[in-house]
Amino acid sequence: MTKNVYVGMSGGVDSSLSAALLVEAGYSVTGVYMKNWTRDLPGFICPWKEDFKDAKQVAVSLGIPLISFDFENEYRQKVVDYMVESYLQGLTPNPDIVCNQEIKFKLFLNTALEHGADMIATGHYARTKDGKLYKGLDSSKDQTYFLYRVSEEALDKTIFPLGEMTKKRVREEAAKRNLVTATKPDSQGICFVGEVGIKQFLLSELGPQPHGSIVNQKGEEIGEHDGAIYYTIGQRHGLSVGGGLPYYVTHKDMSKNIVYVTTELTDKRLWSNQIHTNNLWWINNKPEANKTYQVKCRYRSEDIKCKINLSQDNTAVIELQDEVRAISAGQSAVIYDGDLVIGGGIIYS
């Protein structure tokens, strides 16, 4: 029996080619545009109408239906509110990870199944087999860092058509099929919102923030910031502290509204050989004690050898073989065993 696959089509080249490959593989394909965000921001037009139009053109060219699922309220509650609240707490969250966990591989999956789908598909650069998640073939585009909180059950019902492809080949294959999105630039910025900077987005959500002091490693006040929520650990640019050596953010005190900086790249507050994580998520099984794994503490960071010390309260201390610079609370530490994704947790120190 032919399987019904609902493929998320965002209007980009990756999801467009994914749909084309599924049609060619003999699946009964339905394209789905997820309407997660439609609000314009000051000086920024949300691109959702253009993206929906592009997805529709691709669907027509492939001879498949395109439907729309309206998840805007859920996206606001699950992703945007989480992101904004995290910044208010002084954290640096990753909304793409939450969007994948709550929207694409939970809400989209469940809604698609209710509509008669057997499987879902997306244009992520990742591989899955038997409910396990593996890195995509193209290491420069691998997106498993953003997928580590997807469940085994969801992965068992998911197809990643691009998992064995490079980005270069994806564009070439899209051009061969005359897909209108073949040369469309990849989207940047916030997941589904578009190419708007996080500072501009937070300003539109929260309004101007209270100014406060910038304090150097000697305890001297050297400048004024325009909102501590805008600053991330290790940040160099945008400090508005002129003259001399560059400054790097080491930490923040949200209660006192102070941003601390240093000119010393070797400052011990910038480096750590431990990562403390909570809100742990393991896709298949918990990591083994005393086994050496690899960890990414931000997207595109190098894999660092590590060992995982689990606690009973769903926290873990990750012991790193090498020191890592600028670990940011709110980001995720994702654990790998070679190409296999084990899971991970949210960094809190």
* Helix residue ranges per DSSP H, the chain: 13-24, 48-62, 72-75, 81-88, 95-99, 108-114, 152-155, 167-176, 198-206
Report the Cα 228 to chain-centroid distance in Å. 22
Q: Could you tell me which residues come within 8 angstroms of residue 219 by beta carbon, excluding any fewer than 6 positions away?
A: none
Backbone angles phi, psi at 167, to 5 degrees: -60, -40
Nearest CA-CA partner of 327 in 260, 263, 262, 277: 277
28-35 sheet: strands from edge to edge: 66-70, 28-35, 4-8, 119-121, 158-159
The helix-helix angle for 13-24 and 167-176 (nearest 10°) equals 60
The residue from 46, 191, 297, 306 that is catalytic is: 191
CA distance 126 to 21: 15
- How far is Cα 295 from Cα 275, in angstroms, rounded to an integer? 10
Q: What is the C-alpha separation between 262 and 53, in angstroms, rounded?
A: 48
Please choose, from the candidates 98, 84, 93, the residue with its C-alpha nearest in 3D space to the C-alpha of residue 205. 84
C-alpha distances in Å from residue 328, one per residue of 44, 92, 179, 264, 348: 28, 6, 40, 18, 8
C-alpha 160: how far from its chain's center? 17
How far is 250 from 80, CA to CA, in rounded Å? 26
Would residue 306 show up in a list of annotated catalytic residues for this protein?
A: no
Say whether 320 sits in a helix, a strand or coil. strand
Residue pair 235/214 in contact by the 8 Å Cβ criterion = no
d(CA 239, CA 97): 28
Residues with catalytic roles: 99, 191
